[in-house]
Each structure stands twice: as C-alpha cells, then as structure tokens.
Structure 1
Amino acid sequence: MSENTTIPPRARQGSAWEVLRAFLKLGVSSFGGPIAHLGYFRNELIQRRKWLDDTEYGDLVALSQFLPGPASSQVGFGLGLFRAGPTGAIAAFLAFTLPSAALMVAFAYGAPLFQGAIGGGILAGLKIVAVAIVAQAVWGMARTLTPDRVRASIAVVAAASALLLPGSVGQIGAIVIGALAGLLLCREPSDPAAVMVRFPVTRTVGMTCLAMFVVLLVALPVAAAATHSGALQLFDAFYRAGALVFGGGHVVLPLLQAGVVDTGWVSPDQFLAGYGAAQAVPGPLFTFAAYLGTLSTVGPGGIAGAAIALAGVFLPGFLLLTGVLPFWNAFRSRPWAQALMRGANAAVVGLLAAALYDPVFTTAITGTGAFVLAVICFVLLIVWRIPAWAVVIIGAAGGVAISLITG
C-alpha cells in the first residue's frame, strides 16, 4: 500500500438491540469490579464479537483512565456508541447498569443477600473468578500491546507506579509516564494502514457536552442552595462525586461518604452495609449510588432517589467522554500521538497487572483452595475457551465447595 493511501475510519456496524443484548449478558455476569469488567468486555466484545481490535480497545481504555468518572462504564458507553451510535451508548449503559442497580435498591429495602456459609462461598467464588478474568485480560493485551522490550518495560514501570503510589495518583501517573516514555522511545514509522475508529459524535456535540459538564459542576451547588430542593441537593452531591473521581470503582467511596454520611443523609452503618452488598453484585460499583439514593433522608428517597443518584454519578463521566471523542481521531492520527499512545497502551497493561495483584489477587486468594480454583478458572478460559458466564457459575460453585469443606 502506498504511503499516500487514505484509509477511511471504521464506522459502526451494529444495532442498539445487539448492544443491549450483549451488555445485558455482561451486566448480569461481570463480577469483580472495574478492572475485571475490562477483562469481561475484552472477552465478549473484542475477542468473540470483534467489535474492535486490541489496540483500538487499549486506546479507549487509556482515554477513559485519563478522564474522571467510572472508567469501566465509560469504556462500555464508548463501545456502545461506536457500535450503534447514541442509542447504542444508552443501551450499553442501561443494560450494564440496571441489573446491579436493581439488586442494590432491593438490598436497601431489606432483601438479605449472601448470608451464611453458602452465600459467603458464592461471594468468595465470584472474587476468585475475577482473578482468572483479569489474568486473561493481562495475558491477551500484553501479547498485543507490549510486543517488544521497550513497551514491556513501560508496562513494568507502570505496574510499579500503580502499586507503590496510593490511589488515583499512581494510576494517572502510570499512564502519564507511559505516554511520555512512548513519545521518547516508541517513535516507529506510522502505519499507513492503521484504521481509525469513527465515533458518531460531531465537534459541535462534543463542545456542547464539555460546556454542559462545566456548567452543571458550577451551577448545581448554587441552584441547590437557592431553591433548597432536596432532589437538586442529592443530584449535586452525586454529580460532584462522579465528576471529581479518577479511575472509578473504589476510589469514589470517600467522595460518596463525604456527600451522604458526613452530611447525615445516610448513617455510617447503612453506608458500610451497602458497600459490602456492592461487592456481591455484578456490574459497576457506582450502582452503590442507587442504594444510597434509596435510603437518603434528603430528596425523594426510594426508587426516585435511586434514579437521581444514578443519573448524577454517571452523567459527568459520559459528558466528558462524549466531549473528547470528536477530537480523538485527529489526535491519534499524528505520528507523535501514535508514539504517545503506544506508551500509554503499554501502561494500561501495567495497570491491569498491578490491579491483578492488588486488590484482585490479594482479596480473593485467601488459601490453597482458592488459588487452585483460580488456576482452574484461568485454564478453562485460556485453554478450553469456556465462555466467561459459564466460568462464573463454575467459580461460584467452587467457592461454595471450598466454604463447606473448610467450614
């Protein structure tokens, strides 16, 4: 292919119904937290359905890690947007989020979840499956995104940064270091055959979304104070939590605690009980907001409160992602930007590897039986190519068996 040959960006090819079905399957089976979700997405949508390739997927993951908000949900939103446009993005969000949100609302109303030896064994088994899922993602993405010594070294440095520096500082720092290292060390000739991914968002829409993000962040506290509206106060608290957290997942918990516990809207005991329940359900940890909105003494409470809290915590991340995407292809088409993204993608592999160790491995592998079950699940995924949903069932059953045997 000649150097001047232009390859058109790859456009979406699916329907919102297809996206809804794919993400509903993920919404009821993706246990283990945000890093594990990226593994589930890759298994189902990249490997099996071929919506994107690993490099394109790595770009989207890196972009979501750069932006505030729920990283795995932003990746899912972006995948739905690419596949079927705005309706696909909404379908991906609803299908991935509503199953766990419904469970959290049910728990808020008093539904007993995961009690006794069998319930505890199921929870332990689901955590063990997450070890295998994340290990599979690290293995597969490392083969594609760290094919040489330089990028493998970048991944190792990124993993060390994420493990040694606390919280989002280590995560964001790892990607920044990886991007700068890529800019200096990964200056390969640009690939003229590289296919850019076209997200169906115009620059006007992108700028509007970025403006909305800023306006809401500034105006909501003022409007809530001026009107004394409980619903506005609730929406503002969760919007600020979603707008100011990097990396998503457990990182949002201190912000949520400040927003609803320190203000007296939810008791500390209620908060901790809900956090424990959030570990037992599939889907994004941000659906913890539904539980808190249901119980909040400010706002309408109940299902309406849950809906307000969910909208507030997810909206800023989606506005930012949609705002940035129209400028993404122009950015990544430049040779220096391609070098930067090679380094950033290698850093993403390092971040996944770090998360595989802590918190995924350190939380789930509590003994020899748990380690053996994790290895079995990993072999079933990698060698036998058993679907992830089936391995989830096997892992849950194995967790119950370990719990009953060990007493």
Structure 2
Amino acid sequence: MDFALNDDHLALREAVQRFCDGEYPAHERGNVPVPETAARRHAAMADMGLLGLPFDPELGGSGQGPVETMLVAQALGRALGGGAWFSSIVLAGQLLARAGSPAQCTQWLPRVAAGELRLALACSEPQARYHFDDVQTRARRDGAGWVLDGRKSLVLDGDSAELLLVVARTAGERHGPEGLSLFAVDADAPGLSLHGFNTLDGRRAAHVELRGVKVDAGRLVGAEGAAHVLLDETLDRANAALCAEAAGAIEALVDLTTEQLRTRRQFGAPLAKFQVLQHRLADMVIALEQAKSMACAAAMALEVDSVSQRRRLVSAAKVMVAQLGRQVSLAAIQMHGAMGMTEECRVGHYAKRLMAIGQTLGDAHHHLRRFSEQAH
C-alpha cells in the first residue's frame, strides 16, 4: 500500500486544521457547545465542503474518497470536533449515497451537503449488541406503502436529525443478513418517539421506538431485502473514519503530555528530565505512529476488491486503535497527576472520546472475532 500524501491531501489537511484551530480553541475542546455554537460550526463545515465530502459533485459534494475522509477525521479528532459530521455524513450520508435511487439522492443529499438536513442511522437494537444483522424491527406492507414496528438503540445524534435511515426486516427470521431493508423515516413521523441522552464523551445519542409508523413506497431506500451488503460496507467505512479520529486524539494526548513534562517541575527540574517519564512518552509516540499506520491501512482497505480483505484490515485496525487509545489515555492521565482527572484538564476529555470510539460500531473483542472469521 502507498501511504504517500499528494499536494491536494496536504492542502485539505491544513485547511481542516485551520478550521479546527479557529472553531475549537484548545481550552474549550471537549466541552459541550451551546446550540448556537453547534449550529455555527455545522454551517461553517458546510461552507468548507466537509458535509459534502464523499458525495458526487452533482449532489453538492466533491466526490472525495476514504483517504480524504481519513484526513478530515484525524484533524477533527485532534480538536475533539466535528459534531454530527460522523453520524450524518460518514455513517448515514454515505449509506444513502450508495443505497438510494437517483431521485432519493437528489432529494436529500444536496440539502445534507448544504447543512440544511441532518441524517442519522438507526441500525442497532437493544438485544443485538454489535451484531447488526440481529434485527427484530419489522416492516410490513400496507397497500402501496409500509408500516414499521420496533425499537432502535444508540442512534448517534438521533435527537438532532430530521431524517432517520431505519434498518428493518421485511423477510426472514431475527438473525441473518437476508431480508434486511432500509427506510427513510422523518423524525417527526406519527408513531415515532425519540429518547435522547448524553454519551460518555459529552455527545448525543437516542433510543428510537417505532409504533405503526407509516411510510410510502418511495421511502424504501434501495432494493427490498438487499440492505445488508451496503450496510456492512458503510460500517467498515465508518470504522475506518473512527480509527483516523482516534489517531488524531492520540496525537493531541502526546502533545499535551509533552508540554506537561516540559513545563511541570519536580525536585527543582522539569519532569522531562526524568528518564522513566521519557521512556513512557516514547511509548506514547510509538503508539501514535502505530495508530496512524493502522488508520491508513483501514482507509486503503476500503478500495480493495476483496470483501474479506476489507473486513479483515478494518477490524484489525479497530482492534489496534482501541487498545492503543486506552494505553495512551492511561499514560497521559497518570503523567498529568491528579489534575489529569479533573474536568478542566483536556486530557480526560480525550480519554473519554477514545473510550467511546473503542465501543462504537464494535469493540475490540467483536472485531478480533470478526478478524479471525475472515481468515477461514
């Protein structure tokens, strides 16, 4: 694999870093923004073209690929920024772009790219843990349309989205990839209720309940019963972006810890003079390079032809990044001393985000098992 970045990649990375430096000041990173600030940042991302990054130009986007998404995610991770970028664009937006008909994409994606419409993907269920083909939510035909009944859990930014992409079973039993379909459901549809809550890292998610929610035939996204393949690919793309975001957060922790060791004094000397702390910081730097390499491997894997190889590499990256994020977080907190546990110290905010990334769309145990399954 060729990990070299061209001039366009470097320009994109620098532009996003400048955006993050302006919109996410260092002393505010990790704080929950007030609604006005969140709306301003979302609009600014639309103006930069970040909300349309993976969409085709005729849909208001720029048609960029996994490497560009990786660079943006890494810069946002370094600043603990992005808001609903991951949930609305990387997750739900890319799925809609791949599964939707030309009419559906034309109807919704230009508004998403302009920051006028937010999406969320409702695919996981309370009983399923990380098995996204364990679906009890049902969609049955009702004349020319459909009726949806069921529950969805941990819908990222679900309480701020106007349009939900709901995975429901139109055929088959509870387990298995066959018979899964995708529906676009308005968040204010009769019979749909949302329960929003704060996540560990200060972000938002929601549980969704559907009781007799009616949608017309035009809200079936893609072919009936054919959602699993596209969902599997989209989740791999989202996990690759999470790996890149984690690499950015790890880089920030290394920078914060380096500054702490340079400026904090003990026994009349900077902490950086103590050899044992130098060794621990060196371990953190090595972990950072490993995380960056695995994020690159995951991004490049999205463009290979082999589905098995894509799954294997993405899962390998997710396992490594989850482990490295925990390792670096613990080291950074310890080397900051008691202040590393306070709300005012940025280190704890990065540690929480890395912990959340490690649990999102499959933890290390889930992806280690998935990795081993692809070897057979």
Larger fraction in helix: 1
| TM-score of the superposed pair, with normalisation by structure 1 | 0.25
User: TM-score, normalized by length of structure 2?
Assistant: 0.27
Q: Which has the higher strand share?
A: 2
Q: Which has the higher contact order (CA 8 A, sep 6+)?
A: 1
